[in-house]
Chain A
Amino acid sequence: QQQVKQSPQSLIVQKGGISIINCAYENTAFDYFPWYQQFPGKGPALLIAIRPDVSEKKEGRFTISFNKSAKQFSLHIMDSQPGDSATYFCAASPKGAGYALNFGKGTSLLVTP
Chain B
Amino acid sequence: GAVVSQHPSWVICKSGTSVKIECRSLDFQATTMFWYRQFPKQSLMLMATSNEGSKATYEQGVEKDKFLINHASLTLSTLTVTSAHPEDSSFYICSARDDNSYEQYFGPGTRLTVT
- Known A89-B44, A97-B31, A106-B43; contact A42-B97, beta-carbon cutoff 8 A: no
The interface residues of chain B lying within 8 Å CB-to-CB of A103 are: 43-44
A48 to chain B, nearest CB (A): 11
Determine if A36 is an interface residue (Cβ-Cβ < 8 Å). yes
- A46 engages B97 (CB within 8 Å): no
A111 to chain B, nearest CB (A): 18
**Main DSSP-derived SS at the A contact region:** loop
- A97 engages B99 (CB within 8 Å): yes
**Main DSSP-derived SS at the B contact region:** strand
Number of A interface residues at 8 Å Cβ cutoff, please give it.
20
- A43 engages B31 (CB within 8 Å): no
B41, B46, B106: which contacts A44 (Cβ < 8 A)? B106
Determine if B87 is an interface residue (Cβ-Cβ < 8 Å). no
Determine if B75 is an interface residue (Cβ-Cβ < 8 Å). no
Which 6 pairs across A and B sit closest by C-beta, in order of nearness?
A: A43-B106, A43-B109, A43-B108, A44-B106, A105-B43, A103-B43
Sample of 16 A–B contacts (CB below 8 Å):
A34-B104, A41-B111, A42-B108, A43-B93, A43-B95, A43-B106, A44-B44, A49-B103, A89-B43, A98-B51, A100-B49, A101-B34, A103-B43, A104-B43, A105-B42, A108-B41
On B, residues with C-beta under 8 Å from A are 4, 6, 31-32, 34, 41-44, 46, 49, 51, 91, 93, 95, 97, 99, 102-109, 111
